[in-house]
Amino acid sequence: MKQSILLDGPKFQITIQRLCHQLIENHGDFSDTVIIGIQPRGIYLSRRIVEELRQVPALSDVPYGELDITFFRDDFRRPDSGPLVPNSTHMDFIVEGKKVILMDDVLWTGRTIRAAMDALQAFGRPAKIELLVLVDRRFSRQLPIEPDYIGIQVDSIDSQKVSVSWAEVEKRDRITLLTDINN
């Protein structure tokens, strides 16, 4: 397996900060906006974004939630998917009439985002949904879903894998492109 490091170290943190600045430009004081991280891996990105935003005194109370999409996925009933291990949803607000920013680490086929939009309906009808992703794997979309905010774009083929490592879990921040050299 060949590994190519796409982003790590200070550039990783700068990318998070850039995304925060873009959000502030578009949402101001977040009075009508909520941030929702998609379980399981999108929560690491969303927690970092919210933590960074809350460093700004006027944004110390940005509404934040975490959404489990396990039973909204289109593959959860497939026999080859194995046993399901759902995560938990933590949202102490409704999204009715709010602008929602969904966050995930990697956008690939678009199926996770579609499932998140379906799961979100249980919390009301948002005025608008935006998508923020750390990595956009262009050219592999199966659904017509495009991000509004992008950390980095990666042009990859289906046999490659994009891996995001988080300091909170894997002890370092890094985005790696994995290529099977036997293919």
Q: 164, 133, 124, 135: which is closest to 34 by C-alpha?
A: 124
CATH number, residue 73: 3.40.50.2020
Q: How many residues does the chain have?
A: 183
24 SS3 class: helix
User: Could you read off the pLDDT of 41-65 as tens digits, one per residue?
Assistant: 999 999 999 999 999 988 989 999 9
What's the whole-model pTM score?
0.93
- Paired with 29 in beta bridges are none
pLDDT of residue 173: 97
* Domains identified in the chain, total number: 1
- By the 8 A CB rule, do 175 and 106 touch? no
Give the CA radius of gyration of the chain: 16
**CA-CA distance, 141 to 108, in Å (whole number)?**
6
Distance, C-alpha 173 to centroid of its chain = 15
List of residues 6+ apart from 63 with CB closer than 8 A: 30, 33, 34, 35, 93, 98
Cα–Cα separations (whole angstroms), residue 54 to 29, 36, 47, 127: 11, 15, 10, 23
Residue range of the domain that includes 123: 2-78+85-179
Mean pLDDT split into 10-residue runs, the chain, 183 residues: 94 97 96 96 97 92 95 70 79 96 97 96 97 94 96 92 96 96 73
pLDDT of residue 8: 96
- By the 8 A CB rule, do 22 and 52 touch? no
pLDDT of residue 183: 61
